[in-house]
Amino acid sequence: MNGESFLKIAYQEWTLEGCLSEERQTIQQLNQEDPNLAKKYQAFLPKARKTILHRLVSAFLREDIFKFNSGSYKNTAYHYPLGVDESIYIPIRHEFLAGRHIFQKDIAHITNGNVFPILHPIEFLYLVEKKVHTITSNWDQFAKEICNACSNQAIAYVWQELRKLKIKSLAGQYKPLHSNIYTLAMQLNDPSFFEQFCTEGHNLHPCSKTKLDMEPIAVSDYAPECRNQQTLKFVAVQRDLIKWSFLNSSETYDSFLLSFFPQLQTQLNDHWMEYNQRYFLIPVHGWQFDHVIPVLYREEIKNQQIILLPELQLMCKASTSFRTMLPAQAKEWKGVVKVAVNSQMTSTIRSISPQTTMNAASFTKLIQEVLKREPDLVEQFIPVEELGGCFFKSSHPDLQRNLSVVFRESTQTKLKQNELAIVASALFDESPITGKLILSDFIDAFASHTQQTIQKAAYSFFYKYASIALNGFLRMMVKYGIGLEGHLQNSIPIFKNGEPVKMMFRDWGGARIYQPRVEKQGLTISFYPDSLTVTQHAEKMREKVYYAVFQNHLGEMIVQLCYIFGCVENRLWKMVAQISKQIFSDLTLNHNLSKEAQSDQHFLFQSKIMHKAITSMRLLNHDRDLYVEIPNPLIDWN
């Protein structure tokens, strides 16, 4: 097989052995750790492969990759021609307006009248690549990412099953017994409880579980869905090699760190105090500490510019984002900490740029100033403030990005009595108590409190939810030019008796700020050089908001409400349109923003809308955002 592509080798492995080498290696590693985990992993592999395959095929259709949509023959299914008497057959149960799909039965390879189910995404990629023969695409690398995603998805399903048993047991300890996860979460009163409900990851990305260069045991140890406690570790870095910035500009690095991590003070021994005047303590992800720092910073460690401190560690757990760490016990830290991880997850290596660390406090100051002017908005649209950040000073980008940190406040101080917060992505994970989506448990609680039928409650729930989200995200964009990346992972809705009442928003590294609008409001921004956050192009701001808020966030909720409760998709998108138009109208009439509101409304209601082509970006190896036009589900209400 020398000289053959990874994709071809993987395809041959699958067709001859029914298992890929990565999957076999994972079975071996898990078996050494715990034979029961290995057995469960093997049992969940078919489900994991199907999950990734469906996301991959849906992305090919939505983004029309290699004319997979426009070049297919369509009746009750899609038939993508591969050659004479040969095609890929895609049976569709339901196709949603925003390019989302629910498949019926097996996707299949039809050749000479014979039908062969496609059971692994590597089969699908091989068949398409064999037809298109394009050498400009990133086939082998993308195939590796897809294979890794399948394997890690199976690991996630293993831990989901174990989590079910644990949480059911926990629920059984309370009287009266909890009938759904909403009432259990209220009883637990743990703001981080839902952060680790992320079994299937990014809702539109076929590489949602990719974690390249990370061993299967490490995935089990560190991935949030595996719910294992881990350790936040520390290195000492020569003081003149760290650049830092905090919200309180008069605060020193040492005083900030010790107030943020109160437990550190008791762990710092006399030996450390000898170095105190020459070094700063920098928090590091446990996996990064073991696998990346000793190699990447070999020379700095040799020269004692960096000192590894393996004995200094704090217990923690991963949030939904993997690299943002929460204290193992609530209130042990002042907030949460986002640390670099040099592994590709979905499309991006999860290191942290100097710009993200240095802009953290500046962005928070901007948001604070905006919300001072919006007293009505801040009651429902609440920022999770970034307190500051730091990075390693070097001329080498990899050295800058892999010892970098963002400090963020905790969400637990934001909640009032009887309020429950949940990261929005967790709404679409399975409830371990009822077996339904967590979203269903929440709507059940809302229906019970409001005494509505379940479907009527679903419509009412969505209207309230979308009103809060859009009022925040659209007002920030239209009036201040701040395009927040309000996707599911960055949004934390707050509920009371199952009713959406507020929304927190966090993680501003992916935002886009249209500078002319900020300046029109008399605000100044001072961001770190070469920051992608600030743009002179309004389209960049609008595309960010539309994809994150409308496609990723509200679009997912619409799909699930239709699938679970039988809601009518057009009716839900009509609500989105009506809410949006009312916000644009209000801003036009009351805030002297007619030009901004009209131009943003025109973008939002055009017949075709720009959709972020995340799969095309991986397959074509684009390192910047790539968009494709798709039919706009809002066009009927223009």
φ/ψ region of 257 (left if φ > 0, alpha if ψ in -120 to 50, else beta) reads alpha
C-alpha separations of 398 from 105, 279, 354, 394 in Å: 46, 21, 11, 9
Q: Do both 249 and 116 map to the same domain?
A: no
- Per-residue pLDDT reduced to its tens digit, 224-281: 898 889 999 999 999 999 999 999 989 999 999 999 999 888 888 755 666 678 999 9
Residue keyed to tokens 């107030």: 259
Residue keyed to tokens 């049976």: 91
Of 16, 28, 33, 220, nearest in space to 123 by CA: 16
Q: Do both 480 and 453 map to the same domain?
A: yes
Could you tell me the two tokens for 571? 């009716």
In a domain, 176, yes or no: no
Q: Do both 144 and 218 map to the same domain?
A: no
Could you tell me the two tokens for 605? 């209601």
Of 536, 530, 540, nearest in space to 517 by CA: 536
Q: Do both 148 and 244 map to the same domain?
A: no
At 96, which CATH number?
Answer: 3.30.310.280
Burial of 214 (0-12, 13-18, 19+ CB in 10 A): buried
In a domain, 429, yes or no: yes
* DSSP per-residue string spanning 237-267: EEGGGEEEEESSTT--HHHHHHHH-TTHHHH
With DSSP H G I counted as helix, E B as strand and the rest as coil, what are the percentages for the chain, rounded to 5? 50, 20, 30
Do residues 544 and 604 make contact, with C-beta atoms less than 8 angstroms apart? no
Q: Do both 147 and 262 map to the same domain?
A: no
Q: Do both 23 and 63 map to the same domain?
A: yes
Q: Do both 247 and 372 map to the same domain?
A: yes
In a domain, 78, yes or no: yes
In a domain, 347, yes or no: no
C-alpha separations of 468 from 140, 208, 238, 499, 560 in Å: 43, 28, 46, 11, 19
In a domain, 86, yes or no: yes
176 preceded by a cis bond (ω within 30 of 0):
yes
In a domain, 239, yes or no: yes
As a whole number of angstroms, the distance between CA 457 and CA 388 comes to 41
Q: Do both 527 and 577 map to the same domain?
A: yes
What is the reported pLDDT for 1? 45
Structure pTM? 0.94
Residue keyed to tokens 């809308």: 609
Q: Which segments in the chain show pLDDT lower than 50?
A: 1
- C-beta neighbour count of 478 within 10 angstroms: 25
Q: Do both 552 and 518 map to the same domain?
A: yes
C-alpha separations of 411 from 170, 189, 191, 335, 476 in Å: 24, 12, 7, 8, 21
Count of domains for the chain: 3
In this structure, the chain runs to a length of 638
At 601, which CATH number?
Answer: 1.10.510.40
- C-beta neighbour count of 385 within 10 angstroms: 20
Q: Do both 506 and 489 map to the same domain?
A: yes
Q: Do both 92 and 233 map to the same domain?
A: no
In a domain, 612, yes or no: no
Domain that holds residue 593: 415-605
Determine how β-strand 381-383 pairs with β-strand 499-505.
parallel
Residue type, 487: H
Which of 117, 135, 155 marks a domain boundary? 155
Output DSSP code: residue 418.
T
In a domain, 196, yes or no: no
Q: Do both 520 and 594 map to the same domain?
A: yes
As a whole number of angstroms, the distance between CA 305 and CA 312 comes to 18
